Amino acid sequence: MRSTIAATVSLVVIAAAGAGCSNAETLVFEEMRKIDVHVHFFDDLPELADMLRRNNMCVVNICLYGTRPEFLEPGHIRAVYLQETYAPQFFFASTFDLTQRNEPDYAEQVIAWLDRTFEDGALMVKLWKDAGMEITTPDGEFILPDDPIFDPIYSHIARRGKPLMMHVADPIEAWRPLDPNSFHYNYYRNNPEWHVYGREGFPSHEELMAARDNVLAKHPDLVVLGAHFGSMTHDLDALAERFERFPNFHVDVSARTPLLFSKPTQEVREFFITYQDRILYGTDASKFSILGQPPEEQRIAFAENMERSYRSDFQYYAGQGTATFGRREVECLALPREVVEKFFYKNAQRLMPGLATAGTGPQTADE
């Protein structure tokens, strides 16, 4: 009788494990380290820094505006100020000028600038979608991210051991008719310049993905972090194929977590487990005011909103059962602890060793 009970119990355990839906332990938001590798916070935000500290979090602040060189220096100075003022909650990634690209010493200029940003603490470099979707040659041809002008710059970034965050292309919806049911509808309605559907001479989504792939192939020592799921959230098989082909390719989930809600939970869960060394947590949250420092009540509200959104994301990736996200009832991924740890901080610390000091809470023994 005893053995029958034992057999029944172990069968139940195997069935639960086989279903792959439950996580043996409940992971606690405040206890686990968490790194948001993709934010744009350029206001002075002491309340946000407090919230991050309380929750064992830090952020990597991404500098922007390669096509607006007047913002490069002020953006860099602000990123360094935030890094120093709110250590170890704020880190940063630099970016570089795209407007001097026809100058004969363009690569040398960019390399000297990037070296200066690395000295000031930049952990990564960002190349935005304006390479591929905006900048052109003097003849009006689009300059794609694999253009030879960038090769010496990519080689230098690889030599310096820094990852390159590449935001290449946009979601596939930019190449499709505007659809009110699409997650990206409001973005393209408010930013029609990036809705390229039907525009003559514009690179296709496939061409831009191929250009990104070509960078990965040409620079196998360059660690590439594809922003926004590598602009491939619509096709996880295609993304998996890239992970198989390019060991130097990684992605962040910034601004794409809500898109995962509409995919089959089991498929997403298996994807995160299979590629657990390649996927990093990020949000693409941003806060920068044109008219100086935002007032205190606005900063407090922003910190509260961010905390709610971080807790909700953690619930989706690490939680169990179903939960409500926005107006949707969604099954949580219940990822195993080791996968959650890699996703929320260990992968980021591996790619950017400067993040080793990030957070204040306990880390697991193998670090």
Q: Which residues bind Zn ion (CB under 5 A)?
A: 284
CB of 223 to Zn ion, least distance (A): 18
CB of 63 to Zn ion, least distance (A): 10
Q: CB-wise, 106 or 281, nearer to Zn ion?
A: 281
Tokens representing 13 are 């355990």
Peptide bond into 294 cis (omega under 30): no
Q: CB-wise, 41 or 316, nearer to Zn ion?
A: 41
- Nearest CA-CA partner of 38 in 244, 301, 228, 204: 228
Half-sphere exposure (CA, 13 Å, Cβ side) for 282?
28
Q: CB-wise, 233 or 265, nearer to Zn ion?
A: 233
CB of 40 to Zn ion, least distance (A): 6
Half-sphere exposure (CA, 13 Å, Cβ side) for 70?
0
Q: CB-wise, 170 or 173, nearer to Zn ion?
A: 170
CB of 363 to Zn ion, least distance (A): 27
Rounded to whole angstroms, the Cα distance separating 183 from 256 reads 10
Q: CB-wise, 146 or 284, nearer to Zn ion?
A: 284
* Residues in a beta bridge with 95: 126
Q: CB-wise, 147 or 284, nearer to Zn ion?
A: 284
Rounded to whole angstroms, the Cα distance separating 320 from 68 reads 45
Q: CB-wise, 284 or 313, nearer to Zn ion?
A: 284
Q: Are 40 and 349 in contact (CB under 8 A)?
A: no
3-state SS of 162-230 is CCEEECCCCCHHHHCCCCCCCCCHHHHHHCHHHCCCCCCCCCCHHHHHHHHHHHHHHCCCCCEEEHHHH
What amino acid occupies position 279? I
- Over the Cα atoms of the chain, what is R_g? 21
CB of 270 to Zn ion, least distance (A): 27
CB of 286 to Zn ion, least distance (A): 7
What amino acid occupies position 328? R
Q: Which residue is nearest to Zn ion (CB)?
A: 284
CB of 201 to Zn ion, least distance (A): 26
